[in-house]
Amino acid sequence: MPKFKKMEFSAQKIAEYLNGTVEGDKNVTVKSISRIEEGEVGSLSFLANPKYISHIYNTQASIVLVNRDFVAEKKIHSTLVRVDDPYKAFASLLELYSQFKLQKIGIDKSAIVRENTIIGENIYLGAYVVIEAGVKIGNNVKIYPHSYIGENVEIGNDTLIYAGVKIYNDCSVGKNCIIHSGAVVGSDGFGFAPETNSDFKKIPQIGNVIIEDRVEIGANTTIDRSTIGSTIIRNGVKLDNLIHVAHNVEIGENTVIAAQTGISGSTKIGKNCLIGGQVGFAGHIKIGENVKIGAQSGILSDVPDNAIMQGSPASKLKSFYKSTVLFNKLPEINTQVNKIQKEIEALKQKNNK
């Protein structure tokens, strides 16, 4: 991987990294990224969609990624880097650019690190980070300002924790995870027992949360600790912003869940599921593997493997579409029913004469 000085990417270094070829000034550099129609001098852009070809002749972007077989019909002012797939190449550069920006190392003087902690190499602890006793932090971990890491928490190598994250005691986070600002891991599950006087007695939540490797957790998402045992987020899970995962939930490998979804306690979700935004899950149900659930669905019971669900309460997708068609015809059906009722009434009156 090339090393870019002061975040300046030269056309030559970009081409080397992407196994591409330069057409134009190989020494021109870029410091920012832009869309091709809004390109400015000093920025990098790409052309992947044929709809945007006209913009390549007017863009001010200093470097543009294009297909190897792209043929220009007019003069182009930008330096071109020819690659096999401009979109994938651009994504690779975005990842590299992001990694470069996040290469902070060191412990801020305002950070608090308690006794009996194990801190790995090349870590970053930002301003006012608090690391409680018994914490184990792996190598290359970045923890941004105002984050709190509770007692006996374990954090694996190469994990990134953004500002304002709170991880309660005894939880664990695996390798190569990303936790975005405002996320809370290990807060109490919602457990209360009704009393005879209509009051509620809080049930202690003495479990923890286990987050495995390559998990990403969005901003302001909350994952509750279990009553007993563990709430578990398996390898490769991706959680969007503003998701609530209740106590004793388990989410299977590589499942992706969109924003504002709520998962009630003790629900188990299988591997490789795709779950839309604002989905609500009842508690103590089981969702199979490879399940797809449309946005705003209400899941009240078990769902088998490979099912596609939609609606509230949810049903299989074909049934949902049929129901939607009937629902949209209700005004017409109502008009017809009213007409038939009037005709029946008229016949009754006629027969009574």
Nearest in space to 310 (alpha carbons), one of 294, 326, 327, 323: 294
* DSSP element (H, E) containing 103: none
Q: Is 141 exposed, middle or buried (0-12, 13-18, 19+ CB in 10 A)?
A: buried
- 3-state SS, one letter per residue, for 288-339: CCCCEECCCCEECCCECCCCEEECCCCEEHHHHHHHHHHHHCHHHHHHHHHH
CA–CA gap between residue 310 and residue 240 (Å, rounded): 19
CA distance 313 to 273: 19
Instruction: Quickly count: other Cβ atoms within 10 Å of residue 338's Cβ.
Output: 10
- Angle between helix axes 11-18 and 86-101 (nearest 10 degrees) is 110
Q: Which of 77, 244, 247, 284 is catalytic?
A: 247
Residue entry with tokens 């078990």: 302
| Long-range contacts of the stretch 61-66 (C-beta < 8 A, 24+) | 61/30, 61/34, 61/36, 62/28, 62/29, 62/30, 63/9, 63/11, 63/14, 63/28, 63/30, 64/36, 64/39, 65/18, 65/20, 65/89, 65/90, 65/93
Active site residue 55: no
How many angstroms separate the Cα of 334 from the Cα of each of 7, 34, 320, 329, 342? Answer: 66, 55, 21, 9, 12
Closest-CA residue to 26 (of 15, 34, 18, 17): 15
Residue 353: which residues within 8 A CB-CB, separation 6 or more? none
What CA–CA distances, in Å, run from 99 to 83, 140, 292? 22, 12, 32
- Write down the residue that tokens 């991706």 correspond to: 238
Q: Which amino acid is at 75?
A: K
Catalytic positions are 247
